[in-house]
Amino acid sequence: MKTILVTGGCGFIGSHLTLFLRKKKFNVIVVDNLIIGKKKLFKGNKFFKVNITDKKKLERIFKENKIFAIFHLAGLSKLTESFKKKKLYKKNNIQGTKNIIELTKKYKIKYLIFSSSASVYGKQKRFPITENSSLNPISYYGKTKLVSEKLIEQECSKKVFKSICLRYFNVIGSNFKNKIGEIHHPPIHLIPIMIRNIMFNKPIEIRSNFKTKDKSGIRDYIDVNDMAKAHYLCLKKIVKIKKNFLALNLGSKKYFSVKEIFKIVSYKINIKKINVIFSKKLRGEPDKLLASGSLANKILGWKPKVKIENSIKNMILWEKYKLKNKRKFIN
């Protein structure tokens, strides 16, 4: 049984990935500092509460386990917060990644799959965005992801190890059956905030000064369960891929504006009267983020299957479950 290390494995995407890998009979070691992630979402074989910025503690895990491959998902990811806390984001996202790279080299691990972001693209004029689109991040978070990609690519050019950097677009959904989903308290992302506010009869804020047809931001949404499968396929294909470094977009090719998302959420919850407040977009928010997933389809044989209506349905179930079990998720 091969051993896989997942950093950030108690987070939203990490917990779904860990569960998927376990089902595929891998031995999964999870590293998470639990600042964002929750132990309740742990689905691996072994757990270590370690911050990736603590290289000494991290190295013990590498030294004591024969690791076949690494999925590096740990890091901070709030766009607006990244401008205010640059030192913290630099330490966690860049120095943390440097530590992973150095230990990957030292312990001769052949494969590193990195959690990057569509934020590395920033503002674009042509859509959909391909892997050849210009890299021009407009948030500090996006800059940390791009720097991390470049650090990994530099080592791959030396043929030290092989890597795939996955550029996530907007990840949504949950695996309600296995009781895992997004765990920010209070919620920080669009759809969980909408669901909570509608459930509590609170106003919905929609930022509406984007340069789009209905004035709200347009995004490419992808279900977290489809994401987990894409990561697994990377693990299968990376051995055979000739290139030592590869960046892939993970998106659905189906685009929705915030106002369209609002209509779906309110319909699923079956509430007609909702107070909507219109505001201005935040710093670092592009008008559109629309992915081309053609390369991922070609190389991985991967296509997202979960419809956005089903993703939102599962998110509503998950939010209701969290409300009934508050104590499990607040601390």
Q: Which residues are catalytic?
A: 141
Q: Are 28 and 316 in contact (CB under 8 A)?
A: no
The structure tokens listed for 149 are 């990609």
In sequence order, the β-bridge partners of residue 170 are: 221
Q: Are 252 and 222 in contact (CB under 8 A)?
A: yes
The structure tokens listed for 304 are 């997202």
The sign of the CA dihedral 303, 17, 261, 208 is negative
CA–CA separation, 74 vs 88, rounded Å? 14
Phi-psi region of 141 (alpha: psi -120 to 50; beta: other; left: phi over 0): alpha
Residue 314 to residues 23, 43, 218, 266, Cα–Cα distance (Å):
21, 19, 22, 14
CA–CA separation, 328 vs 142, rounded Å? 31
Q: Measuring CA to CA, which residue among 231, 219, 217, 225 is closest to residue 173?
A: 225
CA–CA separation, 20 vs 71, rounded Å? 13
Angle of CA points 314, 166, 92, to nearest 5°: 90
Q: Measuring CA to CA, which residue among 214, 228, 212 is closest to residue 289?
A: 212
CA–CA separation, 250 vs 74, rounded Å? 18
CA–CA separation, 312 vs 195, rounded Å? 9
Q: What is the dihedral of CA 62, 63, 65, 67, to 10 degrees?
A: 50
